Protein backbone atom coordinates (compact mmCIF):
# COMPACT_ATOMS: atom_id res chain seq x y z
CA UNK A 1 0.00 0.00 0.00
CA UNK A 2 2.98 2.32 -0.16
CA UNK A 3 2.46 5.28 -2.42
CA UNK A 4 -1.32 4.90 -2.44
CA UNK A 5 -2.01 8.07 -0.44
CA UNK A 6 -3.08 9.98 -3.53
CA UNK A 7 -5.54 7.26 -4.48
CA UNK A 8 -7.07 7.27 -1.02
CA UNK A 9 -7.27 11.06 -1.06
CA UNK A 10 -8.88 11.03 -4.50
CA UNK A 11 -11.46 8.46 -3.35
CA UNK A 12 -12.23 10.53 -0.25
CA UNK A 13 -12.68 13.66 -2.35
CA UNK A 14 -15.03 11.75 -4.66
CA UNK A 15 -17.08 10.69 -1.63
CA UNK A 16 -17.37 14.29 -0.43
CA UNK A 17 -18.10 15.51 -3.96
CA UNK A 18 -21.03 13.12 -4.28
CA UNK A 19 -22.29 14.26 -0.89
CA UNK A 20 -22.14 18.04 -1.18
CA UNK A 21 -21.58 19.13 -4.80
CA UNK A 22 -24.28 19.75 -7.38
CA UNK A 23 -25.96 17.85 -9.05
CA UNK A 24 -25.18 14.90 -6.80
CA UNK A 25 -26.17 16.66 -3.57
CA UNK A 26 -29.79 16.82 -4.71
CA UNK A 27 -30.22 13.24 -3.50
CA UNK A 28 -28.44 13.78 -0.18
CA UNK A 29 -30.61 13.78 2.92
CA UNK A 30 -30.97 17.26 4.45
CA UNK A 31 -29.51 16.50 7.88
CA UNK A 32 -26.65 14.49 6.43
CA UNK A 33 -25.90 17.28 3.95
CA UNK A 34 -25.76 19.89 6.72
CA UNK A 35 -23.55 17.70 8.93
CA UNK A 36 -21.17 17.00 6.07
CA UNK A 37 -20.93 20.71 5.23
CA UNK A 38 -20.22 21.55 8.86
CA UNK A 39 -17.51 18.89 9.13
CA UNK A 40 -15.87 20.05 5.90
CA UNK A 41 -16.03 23.70 6.96
CA UNK A 42 -14.14 22.82 10.14
CA UNK A 43 -11.28 21.50 7.97
CA UNK A 44 -10.85 24.65 5.87
CA UNK A 45 -7.07 24.92 6.21
CA UNK A 46 -6.61 21.28 5.16
CA UNK A 47 -8.73 21.92 2.07
CA UNK A 48 -6.41 24.73 1.00
CA UNK A 49 -3.45 22.35 1.24
CA UNK A 50 -5.05 20.29 -1.53
CA UNK A 51 -4.23 23.10 -4.00
CA UNK A 52 -0.54 22.28 -3.54
CA UNK A 53 -0.95 18.64 -4.61
CA UNK A 54 0.69 17.66 -7.94
CA UNK A 55 -2.42 15.74 -9.10
CA UNK A 56 -4.88 17.93 -10.99
CA UNK A 57 -7.74 15.57 -10.06
CA UNK A 58 -7.13 16.25 -6.37
CA UNK A 59 -6.82 20.00 -6.94
CA UNK A 60 -10.09 19.99 -8.91
CA UNK A 61 -11.89 17.88 -6.30
CA UNK A 62 -10.80 20.23 -3.54
CA UNK A 63 -11.95 23.20 -5.58
CA UNK A 64 -15.38 21.68 -6.15
CA UNK A 65 -15.80 21.05 -2.43
CA UNK A 66 -14.70 24.61 -1.62
CA UNK A 67 -17.22 25.94 -4.11
CA UNK A 68 -20.01 23.92 -2.51
CA UNK A 69 -18.97 25.18 0.92
CA UNK A 70 -19.11 28.79 -0.22
CA UNK A 71 -22.44 28.42 -2.03
CA UNK A 72 -24.27 26.33 0.56
CA UNK A 73 -22.49 27.12 3.82
CA UNK A 74 -23.74 30.61 4.49
CA UNK A 75 -22.02 33.92 5.09
CA UNK A 76 -20.01 32.87 8.14
CA UNK A 77 -18.42 29.95 6.28
CA UNK A 78 -17.69 32.17 3.27
CA UNK A 79 -16.01 34.78 5.49
CA UNK A 80 -13.89 32.13 7.19
CA UNK A 81 -12.82 30.63 3.85
CA UNK A 82 -12.05 34.10 2.50
CA UNK A 83 -9.74 34.84 5.42
CA UNK A 84 -8.12 31.41 5.08
CA UNK A 85 -7.55 32.08 1.36
CA UNK A 86 -5.67 35.24 2.26
CA UNK A 87 -3.59 33.64 5.02
CA UNK A 88 -2.78 30.53 2.97
CA UNK A 89 -1.81 32.53 -0.13
CA UNK A 90 -4.21 30.72 -2.46
CA UNK A 91 -4.40 33.59 -4.94
CA UNK A 92 -0.62 33.86 -5.14
CA UNK A 93 -0.27 30.12 -5.67
CA UNK A 94 -2.82 30.11 -8.52
CA UNK A 95 -1.18 33.16 -10.06
CA UNK A 96 2.25 31.50 -9.92
CA UNK A 97 0.86 28.29 -11.45
CA UNK A 98 -0.84 30.18 -14.27
CA UNK A 99 2.26 32.23 -15.12
CA UNK A 100 5.07 29.74 -14.74
CA UNK A 101 3.68 26.31 -15.64
CA UNK A 102 5.79 24.75 -18.40
CA UNK A 103 4.68 22.21 -20.96
CA UNK A 104 2.18 21.64 -23.73
CA UNK A 105 -0.06 19.25 -21.85
CA UNK A 106 -3.70 20.31 -22.42
CA UNK A 107 -4.47 19.84 -18.72
CA UNK A 108 -1.76 22.26 -17.67
CA UNK A 109 -2.80 24.71 -20.38
CA UNK A 110 -6.34 24.69 -18.96
CA UNK A 111 -4.93 25.76 -15.59
CA UNK A 112 -3.09 28.63 -17.29
Widest CA span of the chain, in angstroms?
45
**CA pair distance 34, 37, nearest whole angstrom:** 5
To which H or E segment does residue 32 belong?
Answer: helix 30-41
Domain tally, the chain? 1
* Residue 1 confidence (pLDDT): 47
**pTM score above 0.85:** no
Distances (CA, A) of 111 to 7, 43, 56, 108: 22, 25, 9, 5
Q: Identify whether the C-beta of residue 101 lies closer than 8 Å to the C-beta of residue 56.
A: no
Work out the average pLDDT over 56-62: 87
Alpha-carbon radius of gyration of the chain: 15
* Residue 103 confidence (pLDDT): 64
Residue 95's domain comprises 5-111
Q: Identify whether the C-beta of residue 19 lies closer than 8 Å to the C-beta of residue 36.
A: yes
Amino acid sequence: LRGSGSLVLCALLDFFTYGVCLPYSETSEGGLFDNLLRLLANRGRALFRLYLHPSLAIVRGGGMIMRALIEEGGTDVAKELRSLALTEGALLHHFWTACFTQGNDPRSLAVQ
